[in-house]
Amino acid sequence: MTIIHVDGSTKIDLETLDPDETGAVRDKVEGNALFKIERDRIIRLQERLYAEHSQSLLIVFQATDTGGKDGVIRNVFKGVNPQGCRVWSFGVPSEEESAHDALWRYHHLTPAKGMIGIFNRSHYEEVLVVRVKELVDQAVWNRRYDEINNFERLLANDGTRILKFFLNISRDEQKERLQERLDDPEKHWKFAVGDLADRTLWDEYRAAFEDAINKCATPHAPWFVVPANKKWHRNLVVAKVIADTLEEMDPQYPPEEADLGNIVIPD
């Protein structure tokens, strides 16, 4: 299993990272068995987090089109108590959202105490798509790196742990996944002609992702670059990082009421 942890102490170059890498875990069967262990850890620890009601966890997923954001969320959080977990997906801003500052629509959806919040795309769109498609001036998106860092520091100071995952697939893998969507009528809803236009901007998006990771990686809000060509490896890496983080947070059940042992349930 390969985990690339970026906390600001070093810079990464996406072109040097192999999206096919799986480390010592070479076999899908072994990988899936390890994944189930990590997912069970998440389920147990999330119950304690929800009961404790004093910490929260924000998990961010970013990737190019077909990178696997939906799939990893569906697999990793299967079995988690939905009362303590919320998934938010961000597309084109609404009229109301556009009338506010760039981070407004994200801030009010960050997780409350006891909750896990999952962002499928996130505040990083404000330095990704707006940069690549030139929706705002360079001076605008360039200052947003500092604004994002300040935003994440605010959340961390208030008890929210932050994990950010970039699901790293190759250009060839993206082509295969787009073709699969075309070949399977049940996946046509996931295909948009606009995806092909974005594909021509592959290099521009890669540069934008690399800058976002390097400029906004901190010890309190690290990035994890996940080799994601192999879906089983992607799921295993994400699950292990989340489970390990929940272990570090060490949520505890609240104290029980006194004298519960003396209570008799009436007929």
Coil, strand, or helix at residue 222? Answer: coil
- Domain residue extents for the chain: 4-250
pLDDT-derived band at 265, boundaries 50, 70, 90: confident
The tokens 């999206």 sit on which residue? 19
Please give the Cα distance from 216 to 80 (Å, whole number): 29
Whole-prediction pTM value? 0.95
pLDDT in tens, 210-224: 999 999 999 999 999
The tokens 């209570």 sit on which residue? 263
Largest Cα–Cα separation, the chain: 71
- Residue 79 falls in which region: left (phi positive, over 0), alpha (psi -120 to 50) or beta: left
CATH superfamily of 4-250: P-loop containing nucleotide triphosphate hydrolases (3.40.50.300)
pLDDT in tens, 44-75: 999 999 999 999 999 999 999 999 999 999 99
DSSP string computed for 62-121: EESTTSSHHHHHHHHTTTS-GGGEEEEE--S--HHHHTS-TTHHHHTTSPPTT-EEEEES
pLDDT in tens, 222-258: 999 999 999 999 999 999 999 999 999 999 998 877 7
